[in-house]
Structures are given as structure tokens and as C-alpha cells.
Structure 1
Amino acid sequence: LPPGTYEVRAELAGFVEHVRQGLTLTTGQEPRIDITLTVASVKETVTVTGATPLVDVTKNTIGTTITRRDLDSIPLVDRNFLSLANMTPGVTGVGGGSVNTAGQLSRNNSYLVDGVSNDDTIVSSSRGGFSLEAVREYIVLANQFTAEYGISSGAIISVVTRSGTNRNEGRVFFFDRDEHLDAQDPFSHAQGSGKAPFSQQRWGGFWGGPVARDRLFYFASYEGQHIDETSVVTSPLVPIDQREWPKPTNQHQGFVKFDNQVSSGHAVSGRYRIDRNLQIANGISGLNTHDRGSDSLTRDQDGVLSDTLVLSNRLLNELRFQASQRYNNIDTSLYSPVGTPDIRRPSGNFGKANNLPQWRRERRYQFVDNFSITRSNHDVKFGTDISMIRGFSFFPRTNDGQFMFSTDKPFDPADLSTYPIQYTVEHFNPYFDLPNELYAFFVQDSWRAGGGLTLNLGVRYDVETSYRKINGVPDDHDNVQPRLGFVWAPFKNTATAIRGGYGLYVDRSFLNVQLDVAAAQNSQTIVIQNPGYPDPFSRGTLGTVTPSATVIARKPTAPQTQSVSLGVQRELRPGLSASADGVYSRGQHLFNNRDLNYPLFPGGPRPDPSFGRIIQFGMEGNSWSTALLTNVQYRPQRGPSLGVSYTLSNALRDVEDFQYFAQDELNPGADKGPASNDRRHQIVVNFNWALPGGFQIAGLGSARSGLPWNVTTGVDSNLDTQTNDRPDLAVPDGNPLDKATYFANFTRRVGNLPRNANRGPTYFSLDMRLSKHVTLPKMKAELFAEAFNVTNFTNLGTPVGNLRSATFGQSTALAMNAAPRRIELGFRVNF
């Protein structure tokens, strides 16, 4: 059944007819409705109006459904519907629409829209956006999802789009914001420059209805936005009059969908979506100067066809097909032309970013077929998911060279302390063909074993071909993933459910990793220590230069996570429920880099003197996560609603991402420490309250403990060509923001300070919307004011950890996607 509100009717000759009204079904829900028929002396009907039970006694999945009511009432930063994913226990976002679960990265998530993938497989992210008006609802599955879902060790975000109905209806809306009502950015205030100019408008709407009543329906939406904002550079190396730069954005999103109810048991649907986003002057902020700017154009298009066929009251088949394309072009010609080197200093980054300019195109053809059988106490579902993906990319890496400085002092040819400490350059053909094929098969059985016990048993198998097709190494075929779960309702009233489970989850290899390896394997890489400047070869070091090499592990292993959970959920009273779950996750074979030609002691000769570094892209990283997830929901049929979730978690990793190198290759375990996205404590509150006089107030607030931050010496202390070395901890109880707490004046060894040993500033934000509903002839209008970060709490980013930087211990930018108080005015009209 599609999401919506339903009536359940049960009747049998000689018994009282029972009707249950007002049952709302949401995405992925399988509610249990208990009905008892009593003997009737005359014809009678019992009608009960009540909400859908809040306790699901059939599933052990940990997640949240974000309804259309939530999307319409709770203020959304930038109208990004993923902002509400943080309402899910266990989702510890680092800002905006970022979704992190179980210590994993946001790139470990998988995004589905109408049952097909919305993943960008090159960089492993969501493939563009949908207009908020096109979204009916979505679910966030944070843990213990069934075998139907895969290629993800993080969260599953599954979106259902809107459809037309027998009723013609539409909406238009407009939002406006400028700097006059906003609070000032603390960094521009500190520079005495006043409020930075800002202007933002968003507009659009939808229209839907029947083409042929009860048979054929249509729905279409459009959303546009124009933003004129200002980027602020905080590097002390840049003159004050060159620290603010305009940053305009233009985006257009279109969506159209047709649904055909061929018969009572046969439905066909088709949709098309386009998203075009042009961003000017990206990358300029914080320590990144104007040189590092770029203009980015992204265009997403996809078409989806689906066929749902009810073969009998026990058999159902779902067939889906998708064709999609993403194009992205990042141009630097207006900021730093091709040939400009990348220049890194402790307190500022100059020149062209070493991986720009670049462009890429990804095409996907996807086929999904799922078959469901209901027999006795078993609900069995099995299916296949096949994707044929072709990526094309221009990716220059460090073709134009990169200089690393350990000082902020201006270059002086007569002062050796102002020379760079390292120069890296690569020469290769930057054009790449990135083919990939994904094959998945699963079977899942929900077995009602009796005594209130439901067992969810499944197995999934995934395989991809990018390793063989791009880099010529064997693909990983050992990806059988068992999923075992249980739910026990010990009491007949089904108000309590004890749940738990175990699952093995395998990640795909996003193609950017394969691209990096392919580029390095076909390149000539030169690394020069203590080079000249601006000519790196001017100090007579050419004779000592040795080439580096990059290889991929001979037998790649897909990253995987094992997760186990145990919890309880209880409906305390109608509309009020509470839950608590303990979750442990263990990640293995995470992407990392290793130097196979690493010296046996710091500063010593390399085992193969004819090469410098021999970098192996491998899968040897690990993660550990332990979390307690608690949640209280009050959602009555009428009146105010409230949700509160608290997450206590501890996420550890010994690698951060696929380009990560250990401080000491001979002891990689020493890098085990807090994950960079580890939020030890997080509380999220959402509320929605209709007030007298047609007013309504709604909001979303979150408080999070600080993120970890790392301290480095700022130089290559152990002489391994990497500048990720950590210092010694000189004062165990010292101020972590004080350089005197650390000792870094050493060479040919590594320090004893653990990785990510410090914690950054806490995060707090409260977003609120006050709206006024006005009834007009044949239409309803809503006027509203939205305030984001109402209290104007300054959410600073993690401090600079480079001991050589003049800004060490200082936060030079706000936290990701954080901002001072913003106020937005708008209206929408429903007709």
C-alpha cells in the first residue's frame, strides 16, 4: 500500500462489524492491528477512530519516519529535508544535512528515492536534491535494516515522492531573507567590516490531480532559488580589504510524475526529475584565500518507471527501472589559471587547489525486481538489484605541483627558514573512464513464530566490478551478509516490544578511490624535500629525486561493518512512546593508504632505494562504535507533538578516510583514537503546537558535545615525507590551546600525543517557526517567520592544530553549515 490514511473493516456473518478509521501508514511500516469480533444479536457496527500504534511489534530496525507534517511545519535550513534526519536516535550529524551513524562517515550512507538509488557512486554522496514539495515522507534507518537494503554500512535514507490524487490541489510559496534581520558573522565583526551583504529568495510550488478519476493521476513541482552571499577569509596573511568575496548561487529543481491504477491489483508509475545548481566562488573561506576559488555547475537528471502487480492476496511483484545522469564541472580559470601551484602555509592556503579544475559525468541504468509471498506465519521477500554505471572524469591531482611551507614568513631567497619543506608534482593523463557494475540479491523472511515473537531472518549478497574493470585486480566476491533480528511482544496489548539483532553490512567502493589509484599507477610522481622556490629544482636537489609509485591491494576486500543491538520500546499511553537501544558496531577493511617502502627507522634508508614512497591503496582500517540511543515521542491525533532523543556514543577509528596515512607506518595501531565525527553526547528536541487564533509554533533544537581535533608539529618530524606527525605532550594537565602544552622540537621520531586528543567547542542551535493560517475563498494561506539559531549561539569550528601556525588553538571559521542567527520571512498558499 502507498503511504496514506486508511480505514480497516472486518466483517463476518453473525458477528459485529468492526471498522477502524484514521490509520496512517508511513514508509516501510508494517503495523499490527488487533481486532476482536463479538457475536451480534442484531446487525451492529463498531467504529473506532484511533492513530496507528507507535510500537512496531514486527521489526527490530532502529529508525525514524519523517512525515509530511514534519516537513511542512518544522523549519528546515536551506529547505533541505535531510536536516530532519538528526531527529533519529543514533544520527550524530556534524551540521546541516550531514548524516553520520555508528562512527561511520556520511559517504557510507545509501540514498533511495521511490525504491531506486539516488547515490553518486564517484564521490559517494546523494545525487542532487529534490524539491521539498516533491517529497511525501522519508525514513532514516540508522541500524539493523533488513537484507533488502545494502551497499551501506552507515544509514539508509529512503524517500517516497508525492503523487496526484482524485482531488485537484496545488501550492505556491515564496521565502525571502537578507542581512538586515540576520545577526553578524563573528569573524567579520572582529575585522570591523560590518555585516556582509546577503540576499536569498526561494520560490516555487506544486500542482496535482486526476487525469482520469480513480485511474490516472499527475503531480508536478518546481523550486528555484537565488542566493547572493559573502565568503569571509580569516587568514591573517591576507590584507583585511581582500577578506570578503561575493558568492552567488542559482538553483532550479523540476519534478513531474504520473500514476496509473490499471486495475485494483495493478499500478504503474513514471517520473522525471532535473536539478541544476550553479555556485560561484566556491572554496573561499577560513584559511582558503581567493586564489582557491572555483565555479561549480552540477546538473542531475533521472527517470524512473515502476510496476506493482498483485498476483493474488498472497503474491506481490514490484519492478523498477531507472536511467540517470549526473554532470559536474568545477572551473578555476577566474581565480587561478591552469599551471598555478598549490601553496600550503600554516595560517593560509594559496594558489590553485591541487585537484582542480575537474569535471565528471556519471550515467546509471538500474533494474530492481522484488517478489513477496505471504504464507501462514511467514512474510517472505526476495529480489535482485542490478546497476550498470559508467563514469567519465577529468581529474588532474597535483599536475601543477604543491609547495608545503612550515612558516608564515614571506619568502626571502636569502633566508633558508622561509623556503618550502616539500614539493610534490605528478605527471599523467588526467582523463579517466570509470565503469562499474553492481549486482545484489537478497531473501528476507519475517516469521511470526508465536507467543508474540517475530523473527526477521535474511541474507544478502553484493558484488561490484570496479576493481577489475578500472585497476585490473580481482573483484571481492566474498560478500554474503546475514541479517538476524527478533521482536518480542511479551504482553497481549502489544504496547511493549523487546527487540534486537545482528547484521553484517558491506560497503561499495566509491569510484573516486579507484580513480585515485588509476591516476597514481599511470603517473610519474616526484617528491622533493627542501626544494627551491618558485623553481623547486633550483637548489640542486634534482640528482637526489627518486620517483614514487602507487599500487592497489592485490586482493581487495570490501569494507564491512558488523552490528549488534538490544533494546526495548513501549507505548506508555495513547500517542506517547519511549525507546532505548544499545548498539555496538565494528568496522573492518576500511579504506586507507600505506607506504610499502617505509624506512625501518625514522630518517633511515628505504628498503628499495630506487623508489621513494610506494603507496598501497588498501583496506586495513578499523572502526569501533558503542552507543546508547534513547527516544521519547508524543504524537497524539490532535494537539501539540513533541519528540526528544538523546544519544550517548563513543566512536573510534584508526583511519579517517581513504587518503589517510598513519603517523608511524610501523605502528598504525597507535592512530586509534576518537573519530573526527565523534559526538559523545547529543540531544535533539522537536515540537509542533497549534495555538489559538490560527497561529502555530514549531521548532527543532539540538545540543552536541564538541568534535575531536588533532595537534601536529607542522613539519615532517620523522622524515617520512608526511606532515601529519604529532608532538609530545609536555604538560599532561596543560591547556590544550596553549603551544607550551606540547613539545615538538625533535626529529627522526614521532610524538607520544594520541590522535584527536582534544575536544572542540560545543554546538547548540534552536530553529523555530511562527506561522499564521488564514482561510480565504477556495484557498488557505500561511504567513510565517523562521529563525535559525534563535539564540545566536556562536558555533565555532575545531581549532587550528598546526603548531607552526600563528592561529594555533584558534577557531578560524564557524562549524560546518553553522551560521549566526538567520531570520527568513515567507508565505505559501494552498488551493
Structure 2
Amino acid sequence: TETNGNYSFQKLPPATYTVEASLAGLGNARAGAIVSVDKDTTLNLSLSPTVSETMTVTAATPSVDMKSTEVNFNYDAKTIERLPLPRTYQGLFALAPGVAENQSWAPTAGGTRQDNTFLLDGVNVTNPGFGYLSLGNTDTNELDIQDFNVKRAGFSAEFGRSSGMVVNAVTKSGTNRVEGAVRQEYQPGSWASSAKDASFNANTDRSRTAANIGGPIWRDHVFGYFSGRYEKTNTTGRTNFLGPVPDDKQTVKEIFGKLTATPTSSQFISASYRNIPLAEPFSGVGTFDLPEVANDFKNTNRVATVDYNWSATTNTLVEAKVLRLNENNHFVAHTDLGFKPTFNPKDLRHMGAVTIPDPNGSGVNVNAGAFYVRLSTQDYKRDEAKLAVSQFFDFGGMNHEVKAGVGYEFGEEDLLRKSNGWGIVYDIGGGQYEADYYPDQPTLKSQANTYSVYVQDSVTVNPRLNFNVGVLTNRDTFGQDIGRKITFLRFNFKDEIQPRIGVNYNLRANAGDKIYANVGRYINMDQKSSSRSMAPFGLVISSAIFDATTGALISDTLQSGATGNAFISPGLKPTYTNEYLVGYATPFGSRWSFDTFGIFRNWKNFIEDRPIPVPFGDFFFTNLPAAKQRYYGVTFDANRRLADRWSADVNYTWSRWYGNIDLDASGGAITDHGALYNTASAIEDGPGLMVEDPNRWGPYRLNHTHVLKAFTSFEVIPNLNLGGYFRYQSGSPWENRGRAFYYGGYRRYLEPAGSHHTPSWSNFDMSASYALPLRGRSRVSLEARVLNLFDQQTALTVDSVPYLDPRHRLSHDPWI
């Protein structure tokens, strides 16, 4: 320790530790400390003069982070493995208070599903283009996660500028002890209850095999950890609204390796590589799709990281991280129509993707013909490098923990599309058909890079008062590679200054509780889809007009992409969020902790493309002064850490997320999984789509006012564990929509936003597991889970279009 007794251990892996202090003539003291990822654990030991060498022992108890004003929730591997939920990266989202089940990428606290930051071992695995989890299609090996952390608000400068949440999972590492596991999970479709609507029955068999092993390579210095996973999902007996659908088979194969080394007592090095290929040969058939529109989908994720830590002095820590992430998505049409076949108006289903009345005579419009492209590749790359220095010192009678860092990030989207047949074919009336297709063209490379600089200081004024101050600034550059690199938009450091200030105060001396508050600004430019949506060049689309009787080509005109998309208005400013946080946290009893907090967030400077003048003028990217978005909510969480054979957590969040620029509903779909531009939606594109429309003001479609969660585990007898997990959330707001004038799609609000709600939803899962001890440290565990115990089959989507526009372009009988 220092002369005043202060001490600090940095970069400890998550675990429960024993800390012992001793000094001649003052005896010894020992206490347990629970260390979690991204959480500061304070442990004070007291020594006093003694006649004999005695030991004062204190057990590990729940502790409140007295230095951070971040809203943190941590879940360790022992707690996770006792609960009836997927133990993968994405599966653990469900644990975080206030995060509703939305069949999408976990929107939270007013951030859209694409405003979160996803970290794996502290490096960014967020999709660089659209902000979703790059590993979302494949997820991760459930045996890999050692500790899981979710930050809801109050982010310090080092954790960036998310307006949603920040998630960080720490993976396991090898140690001096050889340990490993093999896990086989099987979920037969015959064990699932039947769908209440017989039109949507299917039998899905799931099999998941995972294994890991870790241990020393050079004892005390070099360690290895390796894991693998093979997952297979077979769906048979599929039906949709139109009838039988061919079987679907999906396979996932994953390998992961991690080497850690301590070449000296002051240095730590970690390097890892993860490769996850997925194949789904018959995908993309939705509720109102004929099987011929299917595509064969392949997705591959690769993540490579290097992490270096150096304790330069007792009070100085240097950290460096490097990341390379690749996400490759390939779609191949299951029905190949070739490219631009001779146009036959009597056989539109072999000309391209068409919308027709149901051949079975239901009167519903269905998608037919083929997938609209023969081939689509959408590949992403993220390169990231970060360097940080932490310094601990006393100055002015106060203790300081200063951290400064710099970062660089490069993201790229490589996009190629080759039309199938004539692409998408419409009946435009007047005896004519229109076909929109992609001419042969090179790949489109959209690029963006970000430089970041931050400095922060955690100032301990006295044992009861702590301040956190920091500032982050970024420089974002958006460009394209069109054979030469061009830059079309840049926000400089002076445009993206983001201050943060927080305070913690120990309300009851020596009670370990605190009241805390934080104010911060976040620039919402992490999602880099603007590198395509705002680019001067896009994929070229051509529109061909044909005679509906003879099939003769009347015209073929380039429509977009070749000469520029839109103009960028001078003085454009980045979108930002102001956040205000206040809360109270305290331990109680010997095992429990309680945290309650309120969040208010307000968004400014939304960027959108809009025609000037409306609706037929040139498009300009501009800030929308009239666009408003706000969030406020309060959360209560009581947590009992795993001890004395049981654990529990009960939390409730009341919130309201509202405004007039609901990007998640801009396409008219409540549960749309697709990626969205955050600067170029249909909003403001014409009459019926303007944010000034009074009907647009109201709750957002992914808002759930009430979210309640309760989960627990209990060891009934030695080695026999029961787990339960209950969730409740109020319904999703929705309103009737109509077709917007001039612009396609049913996006015009026919009544105030949120005039209706889907039903509330609840779910209870439970599990039972028994660990049978074998020789030595070996065991065999058997586990059974029952998901959706009470067979709740709540309708979570609605048809919000009360009538169809007779002018809607449609391919129709008798040319089915």
C-alpha cells in the first residue's frame, strides 16, 4: 500500500477474492471481495495494535460501487447457469431491468434497437453500418461467458456515446488448473405445444453441442482456453397463411481460442480469435410468401482481438486493445430467373418478384415469383485500436483516478446486388408494367472512421463524497471508395464535445449506501449507415416500362445511384442526446442490495433527407428542428447475490418513450428485424410523412410502459437446483395507417400515435438441474427446462392498415 494505506488492484478477472493485510504490531485482517466486470469494488480493512498476532476475518458482502455513477448490472457465470434462459451473449439481454422483449435488438431507455454498444472483452462487436449486434445471427458459445455487464445510463467518457445501453461480456480464460466441459442440449419439436392458430404450425427440433477446455501452457505464465459449438435447427411441417412451406435447416459451427500470458508480474497479454459460420439453405419465407421467394442464406462472423496491459508503476496502468471484426452476409435466390429474360406479360411469376392475389382465392395479396436478387453480398469490417493510461495520485487533500485515452475506428460496408429476372415487377396501370432492377455494376464500398479522445477523473473528496468528471470528443468522417476514396461529410472534434459530470454521496455513514446523480451528453453517430444513405453515389437502380399486352420494352431509365442521392445542407450538425440521471443504491441484510434510479433523455438535431420544396424538389439532408424525442423512466431493483444456496432478483421499470420521429415504425412494421438508416427514413419525404403532423406525436411502437422481471434459483438439496424466471410487459402502442400521398408504403398516421395497444405479455420459464459427482473434480449434470410454462400465445403484431389503396401497384390475375 501507499503510506496512508491506500491500495488498488487493476484488471482483475471477475471472481470472489480474499484480501489480507498485515503490519507488524497491528495484527492481520482478511476480507472477501466480489469483483465484477466494469465495477469498482471498495474494501476497507482495519488494523489495530494487538498483543498477539490475531486475524480479523470478514465475509464477502454485497457492495455498492461508491465511485461510479454508471447504472450497472452484473451477472456471473454461477448465477447464469442456474437460470432457465439462453446463456449466450444475446440471450442474457433478457436479464437487464427495463429491457423489454421486442423481437428485435433490445431497444432501451429511448435508444432505438440500433443505438446500443456491444462489447466482447471490452472491444466493440457492434455492426459498423447499422448498429445491431454483429454476432446476432449466430450468437456465442454459452460456455464462454464468465461475467456479463449491462450499463443502462450514466456512461463514463471511456465507454463512448451510446444513447441506448452498453453491454460487455467477459470470456473465460485458462488458469493453472485444467478445466473443461461438454454440454449437449436437445429441444425436440414434439415437446412444444401446438400453435393456437393451426395455420402456423411447425415442428422445430434444436440440437446444440458445446465444449470447452482451459489450462496452463507454461505454468504461471501462459494459459490457453479453447471452445467449440455445433448447433442444428430443423423445422419441418411448416405452414403459413398460404399453405405448406418446405423444411428449413440451419447449422452453426463455432470455434474460439484465447491465449493469455503474464511475461512479467507487471504485464498481461491476451489474444483471441472467434469464427462462426451459419448456413440456412431455405430462408426468407414469411407469413404471406409463396415458397418460390426463398433464398439461401450464409453468414460468417470473425472476431480477432489483442489486449495488452502494463502496470508501469504502482499507480500507473497502460492499456492497449486492437480489434478486427468481419461480418459476411450472402443471399442467393432459391429460384434463379437469370438476368433480364425476354419479358412475357402472361408469365409475370417468371419475370421477377411480384405481388399478386392469393392463388388459393383468399383475397390477400401475396409475394410470389422469386427473391428479387439472384445474389446479394453485404459484408462488414470493423478495425479498432484503443490506448489508455490510468494514473492514481493524491492532490489537494483528495484522491484522484485519472484516465485518458485515444481511439481509432474504421468501418466498411461492401455491398453487391445482382437482380433476379427483372427485379421487382409492378402493374402501374394504363396498360403498362414497370420493372425496377439493378444493372450489372461493381460493389459499393461505404466507409467511415472515427477518432476519439477522452479524459476523466474520479475524485474522492472524503470517504463519503466522490465526483466523476470527464469529457469525450470525436471526429467522424464518412466516405466512399469508388476506385478512389472520397469524403463527403465530416464532423470535427469541436462539433462533438460531450461532457459528463456525476456525484456520489454516502448518505448514511459507514452504511455503504449512496445517492447519485449524473448529467451527460452523447453524440448519436456510432451507427454509420450515413456512409451509404448520405453518399453521393449509391447502387444504380433502373426502371424499365413494358407494354402489358405485347411485352415490348417502352423505356429503360436509370432512377438512382448513378449521379448522386441528395445534397448535404451547409452547417449540418450531429444528432445528440442529453441525459439526466438520479438514483439511490444501498446494501441491506447480509446478501441483498437495492437500486432505484430515474432517467430522462432528450434528443436534438435529428438528420433526415427531405425534398425542398415538398414533394417534388431535390432532396437535402438537413436537421429537423421540429423533430422531438424524449424518454423518462424509473426503475426499482432488489438483488440477492448467490449465497447460502439461493439467489433472487426482482425489478420493475415504468417508462414513457415518445415523440414525433419514430424511426422504428417508419416502415410501418411493429416487429421489423431489418436494419434501418438513422438519417434517411421515409419521414419528411412528402405529405402524410411530416413530423409536424399532430397525429405523429405520441408513444413509440417499441415503448412498453410497464416491465416487470423476477428470477430466482434455489438449491433444494446438495447438487439439485431449481430456477425460475418470470417476465411481464404491457402491450405495444399502435395506430391505424394509410397510404401516404406520392410516396409508397402505408406510413401515414390516420389517428394519433398510440391510439391502441397490443395485449400485455407475460411468460414464466423454469428449470431443474442435478449435478452427479464423479471421481475427483468431475461431475455429470442433467438439466430440464420448461419454457412458457403456462402456454401464453399472445398476439404481438397487428395489421395496422384498415383499407388498401386501389391505386396500389399490383400484378394480378390472369397472369399468375
Which TM-score band applies after superposition, normalised by the shorter structure?
Answer: 0.7 to 0.9
1:123 and 2:157 matched: no
Q: CA deviation at 1:256?
A: 0.8
1:95 and 2:110 matched: no
**Unaligned segments of structure 1, at least 5 residues:** 407-412, 600-605, 609-613, 728-750, 807-831
1:643 match: 649
Q: CA deviation at 1:304?
A: 1.5
Is the CA contact (8 Å cut-off) linking 1:291 and 1:335 kept in structure 2?
Answer: no
1:143 and 2:153 matched: yes
1:828 match: none
Compared CA separation, residues 546 and 282, structure 1 to 2 (3 A): closer
Q: Which amino acid aligns with 1:498?
A: I
Distance, in Å, in 2 between the alignment partners of 1:803 and 1:182 is 34
1:668 and 2:692 matched: yes
Distance, in Å, in 1 between the alignment partners of 2:653 and 2:427 is 41
Partner SS, residue 70 of structure 1? helix
Q: CA deviation at 1:71?
A: 2.8
Q: CA deviation at 1:676?
A: 1.9
One of 676, 679, 686 as aligned partner of 2:711: 686
Q: CA deviation at 1:422?
A: 8.8
Compared CA separation, residues 247 and 559, structure 1 to 2 (3 A): farther
2:311 match: 310
Partner SS, residue 85 of structure 1? helix
Distance, in Å, in 2 between the alignment partners of 1:652 and 1:397 is 39
Compared CA separation, residues 356 and 641, structure 1 to 2 (3 A): farther
Compared CA separation, residues 231 and 280, structure 1 to 2 (3 A): farther
Is the CA contact (8 Å cut-off) linking 1:495 and 1:572 kept in structure 2?
Answer: no
One of 478, 494, 497 as aligned partner of 1:466: 478
1:63 match: 72
Partner SS, residue 668 of structure 1? coil
Q: Which amino acid aligns with 2:589?
A: R
Distance, in Å, in 1 between the alignment partners of 2:237 and 2:609 is 34
Distance, in Å, in 2 between the alignment partners of 1:267 and 1:283 is 46
Is the CA contact (8 Å cut-off) linking 2:447 and 2:480 kept in structure 1?
Answer: no
Distance, in Å, in 2 between the alignment partners of 1:549 and 1:301 is 33
Partner SS, residue 660 of structure 1? coil
Q: Which amino acid aligns with 1:315?
A: T
Could you give the per-residue CA deviations for residues 143-194 of structure 1, whole angstroms, max 9, x where no partner exists? 111000114221111121110111111101101121221111233x257xxx
Q: CA deviation at 1:81?
A: 3.1
Q: Which amino acid aligns with 1:553?
A: I
Is the CA contact (8 Å cut-off) linking 1:504 and 1:561 kept in structure 2?
Answer: yes
Partner SS, residue 755 of structure 1? coil
Q: Which amino acid aligns with 1:71?
A: I
Q: CA deviation at 1:65?
A: 0.9
One of 112, 120, 124 as aligned partner of 1:113: 120
Partner SS, residue 119 of structure 1? coil
Could you give the per-residue CA deviations for residues 259-298 of structure 1, whole angstroms, max 9, x where no partner exists? 1111221111111111111122222122333243222111
Compared CA separation, residues 490 and 721, structure 1 to 2 (3 A): closer
- Of residues 655-664 and 420-429 in structure 1, the stretch that sits farther from structure 2 once superposed is 420-429
2:579 match: 563
Compared CA separation, residues 624 and 352, structure 1 to 2 (3 A): farther
Compared CA separation, residues 447 and 396, structure 1 to 2 (3 A): farther
Partner SS, residue 191 of structure 2? coil
1:7 match: 18
1:381 match: 403
- Mapping for residues 616-635 of structure 1, pairs under 5 Å: 616-618=620-622, 620=624, 621-635=627-641
Partner SS, residue 132 of structure 1? coil
Partner SS, residue 324 of structure 2? strand
Distance, in Å, in 2 between the alignment partners of 1:379 and 1:71 is 32
One of 490, 500, 507 as aligned partner of 1:490: 507
Is the CA contact (8 Å cut-off) linking 1:767 and 1:789 kept in structure 2?
Answer: yes
1:723 match: 745
Could you give the per-residue CA deviations for residues 734-788 of structure 1, whole angstroms, max 9, x where no partner exists? xxxxxxxxxxxxxxxxx4x123432112221222211111111131111011122
Could you give the per-residue CA deviations for residues 646-672 of structure 1, whole angstroms, max 9, x where no partner exists? 111111142333323245356535323
Compared CA separation, residues 364 and 636, structure 1 to 2 (3 A): closer
Distance, in Å, in 2 between the alignment partners of 1:177 and 1:665 is 45
Could you give the per-residue CA deviations for residues 452-503 of structure 1, whole angstroms, max 9, x where no partner exists? 1111111011222224777742311111111111111122224321011111
Q: Which amino acid aligns with 2:28?
A: E
Distance, in Å, in 2 between the alignment partners of 1:357 and 1:130 is 27
Compared CA separation, residues 535 and 58, structure 1 to 2 (3 A): farther
2:760 match: 762
TM-score, with length taken from structure 1 = 0.82
Distance, in Å, in 2 between the alignment partners of 1:723 and 1:404 is 14
1:167 match: 177
1:41 match: 51
Distance, in Å, in 2 between the alignment partners of 1:693 and 1:149 is 41
Distance, in Å, in 2 between the alignment partners of 1:358 and 1:426 is 11
Q: Which amino acid aligns with 1:642?
A: A
- Mapping for residues 343-742 of structure 1, pairs under 5 Å: 343-344=354-355, 347-352=365-370, 357-376=375-394, 377-395=399-417, 400-402=422-424, 429=441, 431-450=443-462, 452-467=464-479, 472-477=487-492, 478-508=495-525, 510-518=527-535, 523=540, 550-555=565-570, 556-599=572-615, 606=616, 614-618=618-622, 620=624, 621-657=627-663, 658=677, 659-662=681-684, 664=688, 668-670=692-694, 671-692=696-717, 694-713=719-738, 715-716=739-740, 719-724=741-746, 726=748
Q: Which amino acid aligns with 2:114?
A: R
Aligned length: 740
1:74 match: 83
Distance, in Å, in 2 between the alignment partners of 1:366 and 1:542 is 44
Q: CA deviation at 1:797?
A: 2.4
Distance, in Å, in 1 between the alignment partners of 2:267 and 2:646 is 39
Partner SS, residue 457 of structure 1? strand
- Aligned-residue Cα RMSD (Å) equals 3.2
Is the CA contact (8 Å cut-off) linking 1:592 and 1:655 kept in structure 2?
Answer: no
Q: CA deviation at 1:206?
A: 0.5
Q: CA deviation at 1:218?
A: 0.8
1:733 match: none
Distance, in Å, in 1 between the alignment partners of 2:550 and 2:38 is 61
- Of residues 581-590 and 251-260 in structure 1, the stretch that sits farther from structure 2 once superposed is 581-590
Is the CA contact (8 Å cut-off) linking 2:701 and 2:732 kept in structure 1?
Answer: yes
Q: Which amino acid aligns with 2:88?
A: N
1:32 match: 42
Q: CA deviation at 1:563?
A: 0.8
Q: Which amino acid aligns with 1:474?
A: L
Partner SS, residue 11 of structure 1? strand
Q: CA deviation at 1:448?
A: 0.7
Could you give the per-residue CA deviations for residues 792-811 of structure 1, whole angstroms, max 9, x where no partner exists? 100322211112369xxxxx
Is the CA contact (8 Å cut-off) linking 1:206 and 1:221 kept in structure 2?
Answer: yes
Q: CA deviation at 1:252?
A: 0.8
Is the CA contact (8 Å cut-off) linking 1:695 and 1:771 kept in structure 2?
Answer: yes
TM-score, with length taken from structure 2 = 0.84
Is the CA contact (8 Å cut-off) linking 2:312 and 2:318 kept in structure 1?
Answer: yes
**Unaligned segments of structure 2, at least 5 residues:** 1-11, 341-350, 357-363, 664-676, 806-816
- Mapping for residues 12-27 of structure 1, pairs under 5 Å: 12-21=23-32, 23-27=33-37
Q: Which amino acid aligns with 2:63?
A: L
Distance, in Å, in 2 between the alignment partners of 1:326 and 1:758 is 38
